Structure 1
Amino acid sequence: MSRDGASPQAAEAALAAALERTRALEAQVQRLMVDFELLRRRSRADAERMADEAIERMTEPLLGVVDDLERALSAVPEDPAWSSVATGIRMVQQKLLSALERAGIEAMAARGAAFDPALHQAVEAVEVEDPSQDGRVLEELRRGFTRRGRVVRPAMVKVGVYRRAGDEPTPTPPEAPSQTIPDGQEGIADE
């Protein structure tokens, strides 16, 4: 027997139980640390996603302003008397585009690119004589923008369509009006 009155076997059993409890607690702490790290990463990803969505929601009306400034520039007469007006509009436009770029919003280059429905919204197909222009963006009607590789707004474009000589567009047959025949009227000719 030991000094405190416990047998060596009982002391060893108590020590083994205490060690087992310590190992179980260490494993539990490890699992909690892993869970906490996963929660921290998920929270960070959710916060970034929410910030991205807020930026993209805010961007949409600003892109309308970019469009308006481009229309205003195209409406300014070539007259030298109007050059200061055009310069002022260009400065405002550039300042807005720079602010958008700082937020990660970038204009896409569409003209001459291969048509991609993920990046472009085709509003018109234009027949072309050059086969190399088939499926290419011929004209950009409204600029498209991306953020972090994701399309914020597709470019509105005209796309070239090549048809070889003799190729006729396949006409779509007119749709016949649907006629329902009342019960018991089958076989009766129109009078």
Structure 2
Amino acid sequence: MSTNETKEPVNMDEHQEDSSENKDTGSEVKETSPEDSEQPAAAESGEEIGIAAELQRQADDNHSRYLRAQADFDNFRRRTLKEKEELSQYASLKLITQLLPVLDNFQRALQTGGEGAESGSFAKGVDMIYRQLFQVLEAEGLKPMDSVGQPFDPELHQAIMTVESEEHGEGIVVEAIQNGYWLKDKVIRPAMVKVSG
């Protein structure tokens, strides 16, 4: 029994020494591990501050760009409105400028007619002015309607009278009292017509 008792304390002491060595080793690991974890945390917080500063700089830059774009758009809108007003105010400028020579010729014809010129030359002069005027309007897209002999169309014609006609069947335009006109593809004035009944 004495041999057993002596063995047990020896074994205990060995285990205690081993465990104390393990504890010391473990405590060393525990002491170093918090220091190691603090260094990466400090590095991470520095990176986060740098990222936040960069994002703030980008946000400020984008805001400045937005303000500049808004100011440019406001200036563009004001300029466009002004141009639109000028365009509507002077839309007929080109046409009137082209008609001024026609107006001059009418004035000359009236002065010549008033001085006792022959009626034939006066009529010829007025006819020339009419043709000049019509050419200016035609160049702008004006076209007279050819209504006589055509079937009555309420979109193109305004019937003011129904007449009997041996030449034309019922519902045909017999006579144009006032010409109708197209401006390019749009009817700007329907023709006033007599229609066969």
TM-score by length of 2: 0.47
**Bigger Rg, which one:** 2
Question: Comparing both structures, which one devotes a greater share of its residues to helix?
Answer: 2
RCO (CA 8 Å, sep 6+): is it higher in 1 or 2? 1
TM-score by length of 1: 0.48
